[in-house]
Amino acid sequence: MIDKLELKSFIIRKENKLDKRAFSLFLTDKAKEKLPIMETYESKVLENIVKELSEEDTDKFASILEKIRKNISDL
């Protein structure tokens, strides 16, 4: 997936100078332009996922997603 994103000029891969096995990924301007579109798409997908859930279940789901996002950002 990373290779495909790089080929489509959505990300730039930079090697870690201290550890040649590691690298960092950076969004290009092209990718940043697409972010609002992706956020709209994500919102619609989430609406479809939760449309049959109760308000309580939706709140639990949102709480779990927030925990997952926090865990990912802590990596």
Q: How far is CA 16 from CA 22, 26, 27, 38, 73, in A?
A: 5, 13, 16, 29, 19
pTM listed for this prediction: 0.54
Q: For position 42, what pLDDT does the model report?
A: 92
Q: What is the pLDDT of residues 20-53, one digit of tens each?
A: 889 999 999 999 999 999 999 999 998 898 899 9
**In the chain, what are the domains?**
2-73 (1.10.10.10)
CB atoms within 10 A of CB 50: 15
Per-residue exposure over 16-42, b if at least 16 CB sit within 10 Å of its own CB, e if not: eeeeeeeeeeeeeeebeeeeeeeeeee
Conformation bin of residue 34: beta by default, left when phi > 0, alpha when psi is -120 to 50: alpha
